[in-house]
Structure 1
Amino acid sequence: MNWQKQLETLMKKTISPIVMSGEEPIALNRWLIKKVQNHHPEQLDAEPAIDPKARVLLPWEQVMLQRDEVESNWRFYISERADRYLEVNEPFALFSQHDESSYMYACCSVHCLQDREMLVNLICYYPSPVRVWINGRLVFTSHAEYVNREVHARVPFHEGFNTILVECPLHLDRQLTCREFIIKLNPFERLTDLRKQNELVDQAWLEQLKHAYHIIVDSHAVCKNDDQVPVLKGMAQPMCFSPESLEKSLELHLWDAQGQCLAREQVQAMHPFRLSFPQDAQGFYRITLTESVSHRTVAETHCCMGHIADAVEMLRERIRTRKDCNETVLESLRGLAAVPSLLQGMNQYVPADWMEQNLKLFYEASVYAGSADQILQVQMQDVFPERYSIMLPKSIDSGELIYTVHLPEQYDSSRLYPVVFYFHDAQGRKYPLPLPWMQWARTSEAIVVDMVGISRLHFADDIQVVRMIQTILGTLPADRDRIYGIGFCTGGPKTYRIGFLVPHLFAALASIVGDPRIDADQPEYEFFDNLEHTAVLAVCGVENWFFNSMRKADFVERLPKGETWMIHGFIHNECSALFNSRPLFHRLLEATRTPLPKSVKYVLIDPAFNHSYWIDEVRAIDFNHKHVSVQAQIVSREKIIVRTVNVKQCRLLLAQEEMELDCDLTLLLNGREHTVKLTDAYSALSIACTDTGNLSEQHWELWQQPLTRTDFKNMTDRIVVEDDLLGIKKAYVRNCTVVKPDRMEDPRRRFHMKLAYLLQNPFRDRYIAYNLESCSPQEWADSERDSPAYVHLLDMRNLHDGHKQLLHRLGIHATSDEMICYNRTYKGEYAAVLWVENDPSDQLLVAYNSDSAGEALLDLWNTFDENPLFYQTSILWHDGRWFAIKPSEATLCT
């Protein structure tokens, strides 16, 4: 431990303010940093390379000395990310000449007034190797083959000064987009006292840390050593650094897919081990760590003999030959095996927890592959009894989406379960992450579904997510009155958004630091009417990087069933790791949906989503006006009050017995009484406005449709996505292909590149991955049946022969001089956007005949997100203006 004494001596000499308080939660952000070279830590517990000759440079020396001398000695560093509260440490750019033996060291000190235990949290947003020592003891270790994303440990700190040392390799085999680390210290008593926020801290998890370990391995892909013996090197890293955990006698066991124990080793925490495999080992294996006395399993991991992708492909071939093979199983294995290469293509490492989860699925598939054939096709839960991932093509574009299902303990497919959708943050982008506590525990109460949640101004992604929820609920034994949503970070706004669009979906939702994505200048507070009957649990991080807790608390106060927890002392990720917990989960499950409430307030946000409880098929008069709403209230057995704003049509789904209604009703509609006689036990009462002018002059027609009890139940519960009502926008939820002029033969190539880019990427916010295919007119003409919809960019002065034939086939007369549309002729300059339903592929025609008309199209598509004209099916630019055109009329839109 000479290096520890050298480090303490160095830190006592420096004038730099590197001491921080251990009395309150703190993120360490003031360090001494330096570089070392020719360091080769071959063992997981290798000591740090502390140079006793290195000194601390004074501030003015750093600008006078040569760069090598500056980097090889200690200098002061303070995180300067003011937009993140100075928590994020990014010192790596301060060093040059990185090679495989170059490492960065950072040290600081934490002062405590008394002996205390800390919950230490290491966070790497772009996972990369980091090792951490506290008071000379190695606490966290990782390397290029085992990378931490976020990890916790209970560590004792003593009275006085406690030293922290961080080691990071400066050379990586991939160029990370961003590289940073956070070390957050939380005095343990701050998690166990009686303040309100600790209601949500899982005390069972804090206790479990005392007995839990990580199995750190040198590689999840086991290779043979120089003696041609398959050997796995590793170390048992405790999650609690008490003397009991460090001195406990432990046993390591190696299990094959048949459940046979192939090897056993006695190990000690924080000491390297070597686990030998049989010479003929192949495929996937399970490794467990157990206490020698109690035989309790305290950790497990999985590994593969040889290259993981090759082993998965061999496994898929074995499964493919089985009579009970399910193609979904094969697709799931294919998608999971591709994760490492896909992340490497994005210059990212696979976090150890992701790798371990996927390897467990491969191991379970190996168990299935070695079992006896079944008569019937297996289901996913037959192969993966705890959790499984499904890969599906997206319905809105050419991409693929993934969701993960966690099954409850003692799962019974004949029983109806609550279903909880977890929309996690954008960190995984495409790959779903589990609820934090589900990495160490299971539930017997509900099915949990993990989905990526990114809420942006992207109606197509909203439709994709709702479609996926429909699909998922159709495959699970779901209790329709107990569907829930949880959202963390960007998943919070997504959860609110789905609640706004489909108000009758969730019985309750929980938002972890994320807030509703509504306008900052003129917030659409009316959207909260849609959550009138939804319980909303809001975890607000006061010290948050992205969201204003005051704004979020104000939103939740507007909700009749809202509750807020203000979290002090914990940063963004900790709000999920510590407070997105089992206690919160249990609070969420206490709520049950009221399927037929006495009153319904519904604001129509998107025409594709037009249903809420017993209000159905809401149609707007004009989406040029932002607000469209219906309020309906049953005030007695004989009377229903309905108030509409900008509504052309809607219908009420009524059940006499369940809703306590008499057959003779008075409907007070916008202040006017209408007599209604319910002729059936279940009925749909349609209401249509025949005069959409001034409210006082509106005339309404009412008619009934009898329903069966089953029809009524299906109609009130249904999750509606009517993309047919989206007008031009419907092309962008049907995985369309953009047909753009051939560059080699295009006289207006530069302009068409700009316009075609907007046609292919219409959303201003491009954070959400949205990929549409494109092709040339000739490629389209050769393979027209390959896409459900096409968007054609047509310069009428230079048309491809295939496009001339298409216009003729569709009955559209358009030339470089004029266009005839719905029996009206438009001469001179024009631009047109026409949606045409066609078999086998629908067509969106984007046509123009002059440079000015082309610029009008460019300007139009730059307003795609907010322009209500796109809800029309046909629009035309003529005489300098855009207007909607309909079969019966051509209405000028100003």
Structure 2
Amino acid sequence: MDFQSYIEQTIYSCPYNITFSGNKRGFLNRWLVTGKAAQPHGDKSLEPYLGTDAAILYNARHTELAQEELESSWRYYCCTKLDDDTQIEYCRNNPEQMFSKDRDAYIYCLCCIHCSDGGDFLFFTDPQIPIRVWINGVLVFTVTREYMIKQHVFAVRLRKGMNSVLVEKPDFMCFKALTPYTSRFHLEFTPLEHMLKKGLRQFYDAGQLKILKNNYRIAPDKAFFNSGESIFITVIPRYIKDAKPEEIEVSVYDATGKALACSKESTFKRIMISLDEKISGTLLIKVGGCRCRCRNQSEVYVFKGDFVSRLELMAFEAEMRTDCDESISKTIRRMAEVPDIESSCFKNTMELITDSIYEPLLEQLFVLEGITGCSCTHTEVRDIFTISNKRIMVFKDSEIDDGFIVYPIHFPANYKLKDKHPLIIYFLYGAGYASYPYAAEYIERQMFEDAVILNICGRGGMNRDYISEGVILNAIDEVIKRFNIDRDKIFCVGECTGTLKAIGMALRKPDLFSGLIGIEGTARLDIRNPEFECLGNLDNIKIYQLNNIEDAIFNAARVIDTLKKFRQNKSWNFSGFSHIQFSTMLNSGQLLKIFNSTNRERYPKEIFFITEEPIYNKSYWIRLDYIESLGEKARIEAKIEGTKLIEISCRNIKRLALLLARGEMGLESSINISINGYSCNVCLAAYSESSITIGNDGIFIETRELTHNSFSEEYNCFQIDERLLGIKRVYYSRCTVIKPCGNDRKSALQRIFRLLKAPLKEKVRNYKYGVLAEDELSSDSLKGTSLVYIIAADDFRGIRHELIMGSGISLSDGFMEYRGKKYRGDYFALIRHDSPFDPEKSVLLAICSGGEAMTQMTGLLNSFDYSPAFYNDVIIYSRGDYEYFRST
């Protein structure tokens, strides 16, 4: 009996329910499973390593057999909820829990799909570790640890009747430490005709189907090959209509465009490419059909040789060239820091790198290699932003530590710098993508027009990482300025927790986006006491939502109910998808078409705005310059009533400014501004700023004329003003925490040191601040960094007086004096002031006694993420009371 006949006979003999209907969408989650001890397999055949001797084992016999015999038999497995997995999906398969952990083995999972009639099906797989999949004995999907492919969609024509599905999953020691979530595999299927129905087709567009019909999936054994190694790839059509191999042509090119190899091969075959051992660098492999011209040439990039050494040489060559600015060499060196070649993980992580990172990384390296190795010199100096009209990966150095962030920028097929383009910001987030953003496939393949697309990490959480928020806003600002972006057409797409981030950012910066689309997810509000009133901040933004009704992560009822509370909303509801499949299948170029008819309401007649953080203080033509009490929310409602009146109602605001474009806003040159019942007449220039101070006795308004350019700069500003950060400013850029002398970890000063070393709990990445012992300080170490200096309140001997210069405090005889008031005994103080060593940096003085003050200070520092108190420059606790001071 041949192997496929054996597989089919096993299915027919099985008493357990492992058959799925092909008449509807489904998750493959019921299997027969068996194991095969892992052995060296020579040429790494594309056939399963499984023999034909495993028999079906009934549950009643499980207690009678030894473990080895159990594992070599076919047993029934069904995906079930795990105790440590709070979200359960029907498709998270973890059969390794039925196998011993002390040996390497291959686990095989077997089920079948029954079709009333033959037809074409879309399959979605999202493996966290390598798997291989055979349908009716044909290999349809394969990945290796050294070149992972995630969130992959392919199409297969299933026959009438029974269709076998066999999955191979390695259960090796290197994967056994992973959690069930990070070692699972998904395999889901959908009849193609279902996706082409009216509702779904609006988002599953022709472009996605075109990708499948016209392309091959090239799966290299590795992304990085050693100099002496041959390159191995496996080529499988993305749309498999039969098992007959297609004749293909495989070509290999270096970065100069020189063809290094060309051969006739076939699909469903492991192909060996032998190159001269001296060849090194990034290689482009192209695959095209020899007879079937309907398929496009498909591409993949791999690297051959010593990656780190090669990139260092490229960086040096870039530095020597007069036509490359320093951003080229810096980018090359940063690219060398992304992969750990030995583990196939991102450096300093346990997360496997996938094709979504390999492809843009190696493609950019291929381009840069061509530039640095070119013998001719260009007349124009190139920087990282001008090396490609397809996409670029920008590496931005962190201002805090030696880390960096990455954000890819994708250009439309019809991109021209002289033309104005919309900007679409994608906050895509999935498990593990903390530092390296990825893009939907239609974006990677440049199957979109008109808009520039920025992909950036945007994990929502509670949206408390103000450092990451500032980095994102700076990246958006840079893209706007460099690529001629239409400021009235900036849109945002959020996926999963990226939706939390997108809505959260829009709530804090309402005039940044013209429209927003959420693919699963919703606004992050307190579950017990949701403050729906803040959603009014988005009254002038169009909110669109794609909902997966049976989503495993988000309660669709809550998502839909929250959406109704936005003034301008539209949603589309679908069902039958897993969480990850939904966002992958429906995240298409159709989303961009929704934005085509959406414009920013530049000067809305009505504005509602609530904020409690002074760095988020602007909504269209209103800017809050001073919030009276940072412990309360500032609230404002403003309305343009005709041509002569602006009516404002506000609370907890001491100063605000109105940015008014008289003609565009339909105002006359003389208008009345009414605030909380007080009214004042104001004469307006064409463009002006009216600064308003609100007092107990009325309002004071000062108006200054602006030029068109200065008005536009003020009106379009959305970046964080560092001057308003207060104590948080200390940690916004490079900072050194001075470690107190002494080795007693339980001492009060050491406890404060541990709290102040990294006060931010919710963060996109682990920000690393410098630490220096007090006796290690030098004049050089005090420059170019903010400083945190801890002082014992009961002993001022030996303090560094140069660190308290300019703070406004004096310390003597066991007490602290600040602004004419003396503090002694049980108290603490956090005082931020400009550094005497660098005017752009700060010094934070932390002065504390023991006792109740220590308890209070600990509690306060643990609220650093969410307490507005840290937007003050000074916090003092004494005798049960708090005092707050701000410099601006």
Give the structure-2-normalised TM-score.
0.93
* Equivalent in the alignment of 1:891: none
* Equivalent in the alignment of 1:142: 143
Task: Give CA-to-partner distance per residue, 1:146-176, whole Å, 9 cap, x none.
Answer: 2222211111222333221111221154654
Match for residue 755 of structure 1 among 752, 777, 782: 752
* Equivalent in the alignment of 2:331: 332
Tell me, in whole angstroms, the C-alpha distance in 2 between the residues paired with 1:80 and 1:816.
Answer: 68
CA distance change for structure 1 residues 143 and 397 in 2, over 3 Å: closer, same or farther? closer
Q: Select between 406-415 and 656-665 the one with higher mean Cα deviation.
A: 406-415
2:289 counterpart letter in structure 1? E
1:375 aligns with 2:382: no
Match for residue 788 of structure 1 among 780, 785, 797: 785
Could you say what secondary structure the match of 1:200 adopts? coil
Map 1:465-480 → 2, pairs under 5 A: 465-480=472-487
Map 1:68-87 → 2, pairs under 5 A: 68-81=68-81, 83-87=87-91
2:11 counterpart letter in structure 1? M
Task: Give CA-to-partner distance per residue, 1:702-758, whole Å, 9 cap, x none.
Answer: 22111112222221111141232232222232332222324xx24454655543333
Could you say what secondary structure the match of 1:311 adopts? helix
* Equivalent in the alignment of 2:355: 352
Residues 98, 170 of structure 1: 8 Å contact kept = no
* Equivalent in the alignment of 1:695: none
1:555 aligns with 2:562: yes
Give the C-alpha shift of residue 298 in structure 1: 2.9
* Equivalent in the alignment of 2:213: 210
Match for residue 639 of structure 1 among 645, 657, 665: 645
Give the C-alpha shift of residue 76 in structure 1: 1.7
Residues 233, 275 of structure 1: 8 Å contact kept = yes
1:146 counterpart letter in structure 2? Y
Residues 195, 201 of structure 2: 8 Å contact kept = yes
5+ long unaligned stretches in structure 1: 692-697, 889-894
Match for residue 442 of structure 2 among 432, 437, 454: 437
Residues 729, 842 of structure 2: 8 Å contact kept = no
Match for residue 223 of structure 2 among 220, 224, 233: 220
1:518 aligns with 2:521: no
Q: Select between 425-434 and 757-766 the one with higher mean Cα deviation.
A: 757-766
Q: Select between 807-816 and 140-149 the one with higher mean Cα deviation.
A: 807-816
Give the C-alpha shift of residue 567 in structure 1: 2.2
1:827 counterpart letter in structure 2? R
* Equivalent in the alignment of 2:514: 507
* Equivalent in the alignment of 2:588: 581
Residues 648, 675 of structure 2: 8 Å contact kept = yes
Q: Select between 68-77 and 664-673 the one with higher mean Cα deviation.
A: 664-673
CA distance change for structure 1 residues 781 and 607 in 2, over 3 Å: closer, same or farther? same
Task: Give CA-to-partner distance per residue, 1:853-887, whole Å, 9 cap, x none.
Answer: 22221122122233333232212221133332579
* Equivalent in the alignment of 1:831: 828
CA distance change for structure 1 residues 619 and 548 in 2, over 3 Å: closer, same or farther? farther
* Equivalent in the alignment of 2:695: 690
Residues 125, 188 of structure 2: 8 Å contact kept = yes
Tell me, in whole angstroms, the C-alpha distance in 1 between the residues paired with 2:388 and 2:885.
Answer: 54
Give the C-alpha shift of residue 848 in structure 1: 0.9
Tell me, in whole angstroms, the C-alpha distance in 2 between the residues paired with 1:770 and 1:545.
Answer: 32
Tell me, in whole angstroms, the C-alpha distance in 1 between the residues paired with 2:407 and 2:262.
Answer: 36
2:558 counterpart letter in structure 1? R
1:481 aligns with 2:488: yes
Give the C-alpha shift of residue 29 in structure 1: 1.2
Give the C-alpha shift of residue 617 in structure 1: 3.4
Match for residue 112 of structure 2 among 93, 109, 112: 109
Q: Select between 464-473 and 640-649 the one with higher mean Cα deviation.
A: 464-473
Tell me, in whole angstroms, the C-alpha distance in 2 between the residues paired with 1:535 and 1:631.
Answer: 19
Give the C-alpha shift of residue 552 in structure 1: 2.0
Residues 251, 267 of structure 1: 8 Å contact kept = yes
Give the C-alpha shift of residue 536 in structure 1: 1.6
1:412 aligns with 2:416: yes
Residues 648, 676 of structure 2: 8 Å contact kept = yes
1:268 aligns with 2:262: no
CA distance change for structure 1 residues 656 and 356 in 2, over 3 Å: closer, same or farther? closer
Could you say what secondary structure the match of 1:729 adopts? helix
Tell me, in whole angstroms, the C-alpha distance in 2 between the residues paired with 1:129 and 1:648.
Answer: 60
Tell me, in whole angstroms, the C-alpha distance in 1 between the residues paired with 2:750 and 2:201.
Answer: 55
Give the C-alpha shift of residue 666 in structure 1: 2.4
CA distance change for structure 1 residues 605 and 565 in 2, over 3 Å: closer, same or farther? farther
Tell me, in whole angstroms, the C-alpha distance in 1 between the residues paired with 2:220 and 2:235.
Answer: 9
* Equivalent in the alignment of 1:362: 365
Residues 759, 861 of structure 2: 8 Å contact kept = yes
Residues 421, 484 of structure 1: 8 Å contact kept = yes
Match for residue 528 of structure 1 among 521, 530, 535: 535
* Equivalent in the alignment of 1:883: 883
* Equivalent in the alignment of 1:662: 668
Match for residue 656 of structure 2 among 628, 646, 650: 650
Task: Give CA-to-partner distance per residue, 1:532-569, whole Å, 9 cap, x none.
Answer: 22222211122223222222222322223321111211
Residues 54, 74 of structure 1: 8 Å contact kept = yes
* Equivalent in the alignment of 1:258: 256
Residues 258, 367 of structure 1: 8 Å contact kept = yes
Residues 249, 292 of structure 1: 8 Å contact kept = yes
1:732 counterpart letter in structure 2? Y
Residues 623, 657 of structure 2: 8 Å contact kept = yes
2:406 counterpart letter in structure 1? I
* Equivalent in the alignment of 1:309: 308
Task: Give CA-to-partner distance per residue, 1:689-708, whole Å, 9 cap, x none.
Answer: 112xxxxxx52112211111
Give the C-alpha shift of residue 99 in structure 1: 4.8
2:335 counterpart letter in structure 1? L
Tell me, in whole angstroms, the C-alpha distance in 1 between the residues paired with 2:701 and 2:568.
Answer: 34
CA distance change for structure 1 residues 58 and 780 in 2, over 3 Å: closer, same or farther? farther
Give the C-alpha shift of residue 677 in structure 1: 2.8
* Equivalent in the alignment of 2:626: 619
Could you say what secondary structure the match of 1:428 adopts? coil
* Equivalent in the alignment of 1:681: 686
5+ long unaligned stretches in structure 2: none
1:707 aligns with 2:702: no
Task: Give CA-to-partner distance per residue, 1:500-555, whole Å, 9 cap, x none.
Answer: 11111111111111211122222222222222222222111222232222222223
Give the C-alpha shift of residue 145 in structure 1: 2.4
1:234 aligns with 2:195: no
Residues 818, 829 of structure 1: 8 Å contact kept = no
Give the C-alpha shift of residue 425 in structure 1: 0.3
Could you say what secondary structure the match of 2:804 adopts? helix
CA distance change for structure 1 residues 313 and 808 in 2, over 3 Å: closer, same or farther? closer
Give the C-alpha shift of residue 234 in structure 1: 1.9
* Equivalent in the alignment of 2:860: 860
CA distance change for structure 1 residues 340 and 731 in 2, over 3 Å: closer, same or farther? same
Tell me, in whole angstroms, the C-alpha distance in 1 between the residues paired with 2:800 and 2:491.
Answer: 48
Give the structure-1-normalised TM-score.
0.92
Tell me, in whole angstroms, the C-alpha distance in 2 between the residues paired with 1:296 and 1:35.
Answer: 38
Q: Select between 702-711 and 37-46 the one with higher mean Cα deviation.
A: 37-46
* Equivalent in the alignment of 2:391: 387
* Equivalent in the alignment of 1:892: none
2:574 counterpart letter in structure 1? I
CA distance change for structure 1 residues 767 and 71 in 2, over 3 Å: closer, same or farther? farther
Give the C-alpha shift of residue 300 in structure 1: 0.7
Q: Select between 135-144 and 169-178 the one with higher mean Cα deviation.
A: 169-178
Could you say what secondary structure the match of 1:759 adopts? helix
Give the C-alpha shift of residue 296 in structure 1: 5.7
Tell me, in whole angstroms, the C-alpha distance in 2 between the residues paired with 1:12 and 1:146.
Answer: 35
Give the C-alpha shift of residue 24 in structure 1: 2.0
Tell me, in whole angstroms, the C-alpha distance in 1 between the residues paired with 2:631 and 2:359.
Answer: 52
Tell me, in whole angstroms, the C-alpha distance in 1 between the residues paired with 2:754 and 2:578.
Answer: 39
Task: Give CA-to-partner distance per residue, 1:236-271, whole Å, 9 cap, x none.
Answer: 11111113x954432111223232323221121112
1:571 aligns with 2:578: yes
Residues 143, 219 of structure 2: 8 Å contact kept = yes
Residues 44, 142 of structure 1: 8 Å contact kept = no
CA distance change for structure 1 residues 168 and 754 in 2, over 3 Å: closer, same or farther? farther
Tell me, in whole angstroms, the C-alpha distance in 1 between the residues paired with 2:402 and 2:525.
Answer: 29
Q: Select between 565-574 and 724-733 the one with higher mean Cα deviation.
A: 724-733
